[in-house]
Amino acid sequence: MLNEKLKDTLEVLNDDLSDHKAYKSLDSLSSVRTFMEYHIYAVWDFMSLLKSLQQRLTCVDVPWVESKQDPEVVRFINEIVIGEESDLDPDGHAISHYSLYLKAMDEVGADTSRVKEFIRTQDMSLIPEGAREFVEYNLKTARDGTDVEVASAFLYGREKLIPDMFTAIKNVMSEEKVDCPTLIYYLERHIELDGDEHGPLAEKCLQALCGEDKAKWQSAEDVAVTSLKLRSKLWDAVHDAIHNKQEKAA
């Protein structure tokens, strides 16, 4: 069982994020474009948290030495790397989720030039202000955090949160009849994988790392709370950007 205090602390934050006002703003292709132009950075920096866990909890060195972690934890990390770096698109072709998201952005006419320039230059000033703090925190955690801190950001900032969050987004777009099949496919894949497989295994990973150590659980809680608060600020920025564009158009 996961730490009960941690569950109670995060319940309110999770509920707020599952019903964020930004989702209700996704009522047109224009609003979806804006959402994606912010969210793409979260899609990208997720991989840094994942790769950090892969480096720490599995063996990617030569010569190979077997990991000291629970083999199920090692399998979970490697499975999610396969799914994120080389999943199948709707036509059955291998593709990373980052590239799948870029494809979805092209489909709805969202601007991909800014994020591609960021990837090329790693110039943080290119990230929209509302997304920059979120990305900076996750990259710092991936690089400098403890194993527990990285696993907590990965679990509570992403895997545990995504099924409810993406279901809410998908439901709004379906109700508004927004035509974006590749994005819907992307959302459905994460709802399926993270809810049924990755989320429970990510919990097991964090449990294995923390054990009965109260200090480690407190560290996990601190990172989880910060991750969720920064995600909320990201969605606040998305909502404001959509609202501002609507006002200008009017």
Is 27 within the bounds of a domain?
yes
Is 160 within the bounds of a domain?
yes
Number of domains in the chain: 1
Is 119 within the bounds of a domain?
yes
pLDDT of residue 121: 98
Cβ-based neighbour number of residue 174 at 10 Å: 10
- For residue 146, which phi and psi values (nearest 5 degrees)? -75, 170
Q: Return all residues near 156 (Cβ < 8 A) that are at least 6 apart.
A: 10, 220, 223, 224, 227, 228
Question: What is the C-alpha to C-alpha distance for residues 141 and 147, in angstroms, rounded to an integer?
Answer: 9
Dihedral Cα 183, 133, 154, 217, nearest 10 deg? -150
Q: Catalogue the E-assigned strands of 83-241.
A: 87-88, 94-95
Widest CA span of the chain, in angstroms?
A: 62
- For residue 130, which phi and psi values (nearest 5 degrees)? -70, -20
Is 195 within the bounds of a domain?
yes
Give the amino acid at 19: D
Is 76 within the bounds of a domain?
yes
Question: What is the C-alpha to C-alpha distance for residues 22 and 175, in angstroms, rounded to an integer?
Answer: 15
Lowest mean pLDDT among 19-23, 58-62, 156-160, 239-243: 156-160
pLDDT single digits (tens) 167-192 = 888 888 888 888 889 999 999 988 88
Is 250 within the bounds of a domain?
no
CATH code: domain of residue 122? 1.20.910.10
Question: What is the C-alpha to C-alpha distance for residues 209 and 69, in angstroms, rounded to an integer?
Answer: 9
pLDDT single digits (tens) 235-247 = 999 999 999 998 8
Hey, which residues does 88 pair with through a beta bridge? 94
SS3 letters for 53-117? Answer: HHHHHCCCCCCCCCCCCCHHHHHHHHHHHHHHHCEECCCCCEECHHHHHHHHHHHHCCCCHHHHH
pLDDT single digits (tens) 16-52 = 888 889 988 888 889 999 999 999 999 999 999 999 9
Is 51 within the bounds of a domain?
yes
What residues make up the domain containing 118?
Answer: 4-245
Is 210 within the bounds of a domain?
yes
Question: What is the C-alpha to C-alpha distance for residues 196 and 205, in angstroms, rounded to an integer?
Answer: 15
pLDDT of residue 2: 54
pTM of the entire predicted model: 0.91
